[in-house]
Amino acid sequence: MLDPQAKALIDLMVERGVPPTHTLTPAEARRFYLERRFFTQPEPPPVAAVRDLAGPVPLRSYRPAGAVSDAVLPVLVYFHGGGWTIGDLDTHDVLCRQLANASGAAVVSVDYRMGPENRFPAALDDCVAAVRWVRHQAAALSIDPARLALGGDSAGGNLAAAAAITLRDDGDPAPRFQLLIYPATDMRALAPSHTTNAQGFLLTADSIAYYRGHYIERHEEWLDWRASPLLAPDLSGLPPALVLTAGFDPLRDEGRQFADALSRAGTTAQYVCFERQIHGFITMGRVIDEANTAVDLCAAALRRALG
């Protein structure tokens, strides 16, 4: 059964004639995504400090409510969702605040380059550069580089997973944890949930093709593990992961497949599916109660992993 609150949201969007993302230009889709957040997202909770940073790309840092200004905190480097095409620091501001407050960790949100203006692998290159910059600036940011996690939702989950593999292969210090929220892990879109959940649950097969087409120019690049981390030849030696999915999401099965692949490779992975939810729900805490449950779950996992 689809969660009644998720169903009510979908029905309202149909009633109001909200245009499907794949019918919009990227500029229009970005504007719609930014404007709609006020309807579905909770009020931004107060935090101790918010600061925009001039890193290799624009970044925004958050320190949790109650944190002393010079306390050295663990940190989550967060990559927003939006199909590598839409989304920014503002669309995920509330979620980053929630995760900071509930986990006790600092959060640094990354405004990576997106398609179609900047195609694959520009977004991944930016995310890896951002992680390295945060480590290098640890003292100035009052964060502990040895207690660093990567995280993201949807396209951001894809980027977090690919960044973890890149950092391992390049010999960088290993992050402590991966928080992968309904991640895209296989650009081929072959998993059964891409058929069973192809239409009617906000993220559709048409929208997936739209996002993928703006990010990746050539079909053969779908097989590159930097785009499809599920296809990486070696998933061993990676940070422990929490993979969270939604039951009515086209990406559900490839998220589970990635968790299983991590486990088979000897990488610690936990998998949780919110069976009655839709893609994107974790930012919708104003209208979907389980979004807040999911945030609390993610924050608890961060607290355990980062200490």
The single residue of 3, 125, 249, 253 carrying the catalytic annotation is 249
249 among known catalytic residues: yes
Three-state DSSP class for residue 147: strand
Whether residue 279 lies in the annotated active site:
yes
Give the closest residue to 261 by CA, choosing from 233, 300, 285.
233
159 with 109: CB under 8 angstroms?
Answer: no
| Rg of the chain over all Cα atoms, to the nearest angstrom | 18
Residue 248 three-state SS: coil
Catalytically annotated residue among 154, 193, 207, 228 = 154
Q: Note if 219 is an active site residue.
A: no
| The one catalytic residue among 80, 92, 194, 279 | 279
The position carrying tokens 């990559």 is 79
| Complete DSSP assignment for 173-226 | PPPSEEEEES----TT--STHHHHTSSSSSS-HHHHHHHHHHH-SSGGGGGSTT
Q: H or E element: which one contains 274?
A: strand 269-274
CA 43 to mean position of chain CA atoms: 20
DSSP 40-79: HSPPPPP-SEEEEEESSSEEEEEE-TT--TT--EEEEEEE
- AA identity, residue 35: E
Residues that are catalytic: 154, 249, 279
